[in-house]
Amino acid sequence: MVLVCWAPATGLAQDTQAAVPSDSEPKTDMFDLSKWVVEGPPGNGGWRISKDGQSVLQTTNGGPTFFVSPRSVINTTIRGRIVVNTASDDDYIGFVFGFQSPNTQQPDYLDFLLFDWKQGDQGVAKEGFCLREVRLAGTATGALFWQQEQREDVKVLGELYKKSIGMLSNKGLGWKDKVEYSFELKYTEESIVISLSGGQFGEGGKVFEVNGTFQAGRFGFYNYSQQSVRYSGFTKTTRPASSQPTVVRPGLRRWVFEIERTQ
């Protein structure tokens, strides 16, 4: 099944980098999670890092919490695995990128891109996926993250919910208990592409693809009101600075769903 929606965006998205030399290769590194830090209200989450620094378990059923890398990334592909190791609760998991704050210098300002995934419908909170750009003064309070709504300071870049595409089977779009999913985020100065596989999605495919203008920022994990979530095996593959040819595209934004539904 493929769902593609296009919407006009203002201006043009332009690639400004020169062609890649033949001897230039992307570089892949494993994230060392022992160097990451908790951002936002510290009581909202409990992040337990494995001894080898390659996985972390979020243990607290609390408010929005972020576990974030120390360095910014851009023109990078990030891959890793997420699993919820409990049958208790049905709330939010996901990740942040282009992350600027909150931090120790700006604890009361939120500036990041957020991809969240909810297991089941719960009032105004919907089963499925949402991609948002958050830029606002304030702390990481629950109401902002629960409602998944468009606001002046919260721009919805893409959304995909069970009811919005008529998927009413028992498979649904929500994550499944104790099922490991693999994610891929391609984050560049001009586009965001998010893909996943595993569980009911099988070999999977793209969830969102958005064109625009994006800035470098930190990458991290996100939880809200969901405990027993493990993030593991995350890597980053960085393109050399000269890895993109110069092209100019119309400023269009789309979100894509091309997951194969298994029988």
Cα(192)–Cα(188) distance, rounded to whole angstroms?
7
- 246, two tokens: 């110069």
- Per mean pLDDT, which range of 182-186, 239-243, 250-254 is the poorest? 250-254
What is the secondary structure of 116-144 as a DSSP string?
EEESS-BTTB-SEEEEEEEEEES---HHH
Mean pLDDT of 112-138: 92
Mean pLDDT of 180-188: 98
pLDDT band at residue 15, thresholds of 50, 70 and 90? Answer: very low
The confidence score (pLDDT) of residue 163 equals 57
Domains of the chain, each with CATH number or no CATH: 3-257 (2.60.120.200)
The confidence score (pLDDT) of residue 153 equals 84
Mean pLDDT of 42-54: 96
The confidence score (pLDDT) of residue 124 equals 86
The number of beta carbons lying within 10 Å of the beta carbon of residue 139 is 15
Q: Select the highest-mean-pLDDT range: 22-26, 134-138, 185-189, 254-258.
A: 185-189
Contacts of 86 (CB under 8 A, 6+ apart): 177, 178, 227, 228
* CA 246 to each of CA 16, 17, 22, 211: distance values in angstroms, whole numbers, following the listed order: 5, 6, 16, 15
Q: 0.75 cut: is pTM over it? A: yes
* 2 vs 46, residue with greater confidence: 46
pLDDT digits 0-9 by tens, 58-96: 999 999 999 999 999 999 999 999 999 999 899 999 999
pLDDT digits 0-9 by tens, 149-179: 677 788 999 999 875 554 434 568 999 999 9
The confidence score (pLDDT) of residue 59 equals 97
Short-list 85, 94, 100, CA closest to 135: 100
- Per mean pLDDT, which range of 9-18, 114-123, 204-213 is the poorest? 9-18
Question: What does the CA dihedral 13, 159, 90, 122 come to, rounded to 10 degrees?
Answer: 140
pLDDT digits 0-9 by tens, 235-245: 999 977 654 54
* CA 3 to each of CA 13, 77, 101, 147, 191: distance values in angstroms, whole numbers, following the listed order: 23, 23, 33, 23, 18
